[in-house]
Chain A
């Protein structure tokens, strides 16, 4: 065995070690604990399926997962729509490269503050006596405050869209910038109108970016708990929030079981996205 044959393994070792220590091991622990038993104060090693049984047979779990999926689908659709158009505008309507970068950086400015602060700042804005309601009432557009604005699904989705749209903009912008402009000219020469160029040339070529952005948004929304808790005023549940509650009540095995179920579900979703778009081939 020469050094040249060992070298690739040595090169891969640091990453392997890091992933093993900080990814594989914790996940293995979670999987293990999900089979343990617990009472109100402690958890004990065991091999029981009650955590999964209680989770999967409970209508609460199902409605919570459905609710989380509902948020995911809505937020994904809205961020995709907004994200694509922002990216499209940046890539095709801004002519100078400098201006493109400047505007792109402008998009990231909100990220200079913590996402909790960005989220919480919606609360005084949307509240019953908040800025929006007061403005609308002064303008005479409504005669009583709009209650659905805060502590509702609307508020949750709004905050999530606000928080996560950039995760869609960035990868899509990146793929749009790689599209060879000659292709668009060729399409136009061949008689395609603007809409046909969009659907037949740009969107297919933007697919990897859309897929990457979708993976970001889907995983973020599926795992979210703090946005749901604050913006729904504790009125709605998400899987993450359910787990947070279980951990707070020392029900680690139940939380671990939920984590495993959520992990499987998210991996399936990501798998489905990758099935539709082969990211590696098209990058």
Chain B
């Protein structure tokens, strides 16, 4: 009987499956996993009884290459949907059954985990848990470092129990998100057009750049860039940039409105493409930017630098969360997928894009020593550095903006966050945009 089931499910897989057939397959897989002790290792099962996991998240880590490799290695089909951060939070809260894996940022996690649509993960089932970069567990990159302001991943990385919705202060056995991808953000500049060295966040306020600057119009992230700028310019000193008081929000927004009225900004961007176009067309010469956008500008042959600044970086991080409704074979597959995610291939792929991955030791094994030295140690490239697609990103001799992993992630001033006064902040932010 068991044999027969396997055959049928296998032939179905070969033809491509309808939803109904898929459900049958999943049921069969559950039966098999429970009944057949002879089966060795999960990958075999997934290959014979197709499992599909629906994953959605922000564009940065929803990469087709990962889905293809996952299919090849595990036999698990990943259906990826890329959305913007706002849409992601909406989906997690309002359409709990529309996804199996949520790829969300830590600050979104703080906002949505209480909705109860995600289930915490048992760290005992995470093979590489002990090797996850400590930023995500204890919060300290090195034993001596301090935890940056904002929604630091470690503060929302654990809950107190399998059913709990309260974030734990210290690591527990129940992890909310498995970190996937993170980076330190700063300002992007056009070195050919700024005409002077850029050292501080406040340089964006230089009258010389009047009408040639931009910041991003995603309130929860834009406010952090604004805070870095205000603090750098000596307008205000925050208690916690990631959790401002109403008074601090007022000072920040009032300053932004004043700056906007004086014509300092050219535009406010909301999507990745907009930021690339603003920079590439020369409409702006210094602006908030994300690292792949800098790479995109550079790939057009236009000089663009992701400028390290004295005050430090604004960091962000994302992770995979498992939907509450997953159980049985699908839940096992989700764990299998997560363990595979941390096992090196994906890590190397992400590191090669200039991001950082959660388990560095496994990623290193999947990168060439030269790649590792360039991306992670900040050393000059010995050979041309290729993107994961094989395009030359840096020629031999180039050095990564900002230096090594420790230099960059060690200089994080604050994390993307969601504040207690979120609603007030958003209202004031809209005022700034409308002003």
Contact = CB atoms under 8 A, between A and B. Distances in A.
A129 B281 contact: yes
B219 A249 contact: yes
A233 B267 contact: yes
A67 B281 contact: no
Given A42-B93, A60-B427, A127-B281, A242 B434 contact: yes
Interface in B69-112: 84, 86-87, 89-90, 93, 111-112
Nearest to A61: B434
Contact of A41 (B84, B115, B269, B430): B115
Contact of B93 (A54, A124, A250): A250
A67 B268 contact: no
For chain B, the bracket of interface size reads 35 or more
User: Which of A64, A129, A151 has the most chain B CB atoms inside 10 A of its CB?
Assistant: A151
Given A242-B430, A242-B434, A250-B89, A40 B422 contact: yes
A127 B283 contact: yes
Nearest to A242: B430
Interface string A99-132: 0000000000000000000000001100111100
29 contacts: A40-B423, A41-B93, A41-B111, A41-B112, A41-B114, A41-B115, A42-B93, A42-B115, A58-B427, A58-B431, A60-B427, A60-B434, A63-B434, A124-B281, A128-B281, A128-B283, A129-B281, A151-B266, A151-B283, A233-B278, A234-B217, A234-B268, A234-B269, A235-B265, A248-B86, A248-B87, A249-B426, A250-B86, A250-B93
B282 A128 contact: yes
Given A40-B418, A249-B426, A129 B282 contact: yes
B296 to A, nearest CB: 17
Contacts of A67: 434
Contacts of A236: 434
B211 interface: yes
A168 to B, nearest CB: 28
B327 interface: no
Nearest to B432: A60
B211 A147 contact: yes
Which among B277, B418, B434 has the highest number of chain A CB atoms within 10 Å?
B434
B233 to A, nearest CB: 21
A196 interface: no
B270 interface: yes
Interface in B257-273: 260, 265-270
A242 to B, nearest CB: 6
Interface string B279-292: 00111000000000
B430 A60 contact: yes
Contacts of B65: none
Contact of A235 (B267, B281, B282, B427): B267
A198 B268 CA distance: 46
Interface of B: 84, 86-87, 89-90, 93, 111-112, 114-115, 211, 214, 217, 219, 260, 265-270, 277-278, 281-283, 418, 422-423, 426-427, 430-431, 433-435
Interface in A125-150: 127-130, 147, 150
A245 interface: yes
In this complex, the interface size class of chain A, counting residues with CB under 8 Å from chain B, is 20 to 34
A166 B427 CA distance: 37
B265 to A, nearest CB: 7
Contacts of B114: 41
A237 interface: yes
Contacts of A251: 423, 426
A151 B267 contact: yes
Given A41-B112, A234-B270, A248-B86, A150 B283 contact: yes
A237 B433 contact: yes
Contacts of A250: 86, 89-90, 93
Contacts of B422: 40
Q: Which of A54, A67, A236, A250 has the most CB of B within 10 A?
A: A250
A40 B111 contact: yes
Closest 6 CB pairs of A and B: A233-B267, A234-B268, A237-B434, A248-B86, A60-B431, A151-B267
Interface in A224-283: 229, 232-237, 242, 245, 248-251
A234 B433 contact: yes
Contact of A245 (B87, B265, B430): B430
Contacts of B277: 123
Nearest to B434: A237
A151 B260 CA distance: 13
A97 B434 CA distance: 48
A129 B214 CA distance: 17
A232 B278 CA distance: 13
Given A124-B281, A233-B266, 17 more contacts: A40-B423, A41-B93, A41-B111, A63-B435, A130-B281, A151-B267, A151-B283, A234-B267, A234-B270, A234-B433, A235-B268, A236-B434, A237-B430, A237-B434, A242-B430, A245-B426, A245-B433
A88 B268 CA distance: 41
A58 B112 CA distance: 28
